[in-house]
Amino acid sequence: MAQDNSSRVTEFILLGLSDTQELQLLFFTLFLLAYTMVLLGNLLIIMAVRTDPKLSSPMYFLLCNLSFIDICYTSVTIPRVLVALLSGHKAIAFEGCMAQLFFLHFVGSSEMFLLTVMAFDRYTAICRPLHYTAIMACGACWALVAACWAGGFIHSSVQTVLMLQLPFCGPNTIHSYFCDVPPVVRLACTDTALTEWLMASNSGLISLGCFLVLVASYALILAKVQARVSQGNWKALSTCTSHVMAVTLLFMPCIFTYLRPAGTLPINKYVCVIYTIFSPMMNPLIYTLRSSEVKESMWRLWKRCRA
């Protein structure tokens, strides 16, 4: 269908999670609390890792980068949601919607790649301890993190280019609280079957592929630990347990969202809350509660700040 410039959609309406005033106030409180926890928790982790020489191993370097990504990831959606809940203004410009979609997938896919790298780090530490220092050298860690960001940029660019090729000239109501591929692509004034398949093979297969790699790495780690039990191995395995929890919170809702057949399910926007808000909020708790070194570093940082 040819796109008519005179009827081109210039803004979208984000319906959010509920139209009820009482629920909107509840969601505002919960979202504000979650965002505050994300900012404070991840900033505290970054400060602890950056200021404590004892936390100079590759694992904590990657954890620091994960905290930075979580801050960026939540900042793409939550601040605007809070403003919309407080002011009642639900409209977002077409350009702003595409920008939000781009940065959401840019940072989100970068986090998936980084979690995969973190699993590789744990696999190397447990299964190849004698070669760990050489494999996870400082230069290699920086290169892996850069590759995660580059992969996220390529993925997000493909998604955004596919979206910009679609004509939007009719409905402009999005049944969600942020701009994402599944709800926006259904508003296009053309047959989007091929585009949806391309986007599913992009976002969905990346989520599924990274998840399968993570599952395989943990299976190898479990096999190795069973064959050679030691205090150091069980400590590393404990770290992997927290990693599994974080991975499950992020990947399972993403796989459900991006590999589902086309069609709107009312539960979809609530599933999005898990990987856009709940997962980044839980990451600091999961990693700090499972790492005595990080907790001790935070305590020393707190005492220095009070001194």
Domain membership flag for residue 195:
yes
Domain membership flag for residue 5:
no
Domain membership flag for residue 65:
yes
What does the pLDDT look like over 88-136, one tens digit per residue? 888 999 999 999 999 999 999 999 999 999 889 988 888 888 888 899 9
| Interatomic CA distance for residues 304 and 301, integer angstroms | 5
Tokens 């296009």 appear where?
188
Average pLDDT, integer, range 76-84? 92
| Interatomic CA distance for residues 71 and 73, integer angstroms | 6
| Interatomic CA distance for residues 171 and 277, integer angstroms | 27
Domain membership flag for residue 2:
no
Domain membership flag for residue 273:
yes
Question: What are the residues whose beta carbons fall under 8 Å from the beta carbon of 81, sequence distance 6 or more?
Answer: 16, 31, 177, 178
Cβ neighbours, 10 Å, residue 109: 25
CATH number, position 235:
1.20.1070.10
pTM of this prediction?
0.88
What does the pLDDT look like over 122-180, one tens digit per residue? 888 888 888 888 999 999 999 999 999 999 999 999 989 988 988 888 788 888 889 98
Residue range of the domain that includes 48:
11-300
Structural contact between residues 271 and 223, judged by C-beta atoms closer than 8 angstroms: no
| Interatomic CA distance for residues 153 and 109, integer angstroms | 8
> How many structural domains is the chain composed of?
1
